[in-house]
Chains A and B, each alone.
Chain A
Amino acid sequence: MHDLNTYLIIGAVLFTLGLFGVITRRNAIAVLMGVELILNAANINFIAFARFGGMNLSGHIFAMFVIIMAAVEAAVALAIIINLYNNLGTVNIDEADTLKK
């Protein structure tokens, strides 16, 4: 159990699930959650390589930066979503198709 491949596969599974969420969800917040999953999957990989790939603490630092990024992204994304809601009355991203018109 304690080897690189296990962790990488767990990461891959989480990534795939996140991807699936991003593609299929109509609600913007749910999409955001998918994105969070993807970021976490990446983090697992960072830590796994830190532990088993000789990256040592640098991997931790990277993971930390990713978490910071995730926080930033979540804040800004939610602000955008709220703005969207205020303007269009919906958070379904397929209804926000002003780009098309």
Chain B
Amino acid sequence: MDWNILSWLIWLPVVGMVAIALIPREKPEIIKIIAAVATGLQLWVVIMLWIQFDRGAVGFQFQEKLAWIPSFNIHYFLGVDGLSLPMALLTALLSFLGIFVSWKIDKAVKGYFALFLLLDTGMMGVFLSLDFFLFYVFWEVMLLPMYFLIGIWGGPQREYAAIKFFLYTLAGSVLMLVAMLALYFSCGRTFDMTQMIVLAPEALKGVTWWGLDTLKVIWIFLFITFAIKVPIFPFHTWLPLAHVEAPTAVSVILAGVLLKMGTYGLLRISYPMLPDGAVWFAGALAILALINIIWGALCALAQTDLKKLVAYSSINHMGYVLLGMAAVVAAGAQHGTNMTAAQAGMNGAVLQMFNHGTITAMLFILVGVVYDRAHHRDIDGFGGLGVKMPIYSGVVALAFFAGLGLPGLSGFIGEAMCFIGAFPVYKLIVIIATLGILLNASYFLWAYQRIFLGGLNEKYADIPEINGRELFTLVPLAVLVVLLGVYPAPVLNVMKVTMNYIIEIVQTSSLLAPH
């Protein structure tokens, strides 16, 4: 590509950050406008990319490769495929909306928006890197602004939450570093992911460390790293706290984008590089998915803090993604080469990642809206708001119904595809997991009833209706939720070739040979 579109995507926010650094702090309006322009341009670039992306081609497009640290064979290597493109779109969209969500921030505005843009760069970099080392660097770059955004602009327990988030994720990063180096040396000193995908399966065949299969050790290390991000039970406890304490826009980014990095990492790194590991672990993954679904839903049902409820619902929803990912083994000869199921599961997983990003972003923005007005989030402390805020309650209803997987809204289709994919292989697990649908509906409807229905709580007799700026942040998401619920093909068409490629890689695993 002539104009290095991917580099623009990554570095535009940094340009914005530098511009912000030059603006005196007395002019918050200009700072906000610069941030909005930077992310807006990024969104525009990603949409251009979306249009120009060749949907039929296998492999990475718009590649950029520059030597970075030649002595270690490290490159500045970018590329985009059907898996990373939806994630990049999600990142750009949520970052752009996040700026408007945080319009009312009044504490250290300059620092906030500068960090927010840095975070944006980190996330975009993770999704577009094709060099493992670069991936790792962006992965870490993202942590720092997140730490400060939670730790400075968060709620009452912000410092505890920030440090917990930081340590949890750092722990994962350490394991990823080890796994990365192990792969680097096994693949003959390369960090190039496209190379590693080809070399790693052969290189790790039969290698053992202290009597353990190296492959399994690396897989577990990577898995824990990504599991913390997803988060998968039992590595999930940072999430409710961080979400609850973070400012609204940061919660949106956390739930909307950061969680996807866990599953993205699994699909980008673990699956293609360690197909044997993927197959070996698929059963456990399905069980963990089940636990995530049920556990998350039950915890959500128990919450009285609205934001915590939404946070646990994320755990629940990411469970569906994992379930879809576990379905990849259906493509193996052992399971009758059921490509239909494997494709349904894998595509469903990525679709669900995307859709969950939009839905959960809506949910967090909506929680922020009511919090700004009532200054608390206690579900039982509201009541009957539906009379006073008809538009707001309508949008919440849309988001809640999307969250509980109502057909016609985007939450349903991904979930259903994950179930369809996993069913032929993991019948019992899927049947138990469908209970999650019921629990989903219970906690959302129950919460909805307690907040909006029933008699009006007199305390909120003159609570103001949602305003134009807030609506502006919600409308694009709502449109996506409805459109993709009715017609998911635009996103599926982008990702399907890539997902089929990953399925084919995993399919070749010797563990899937017929008995």
| Direct contact, A vs B (beta carbon within 8 Å) | no
Binding site for B on A (CB under 8 A): none
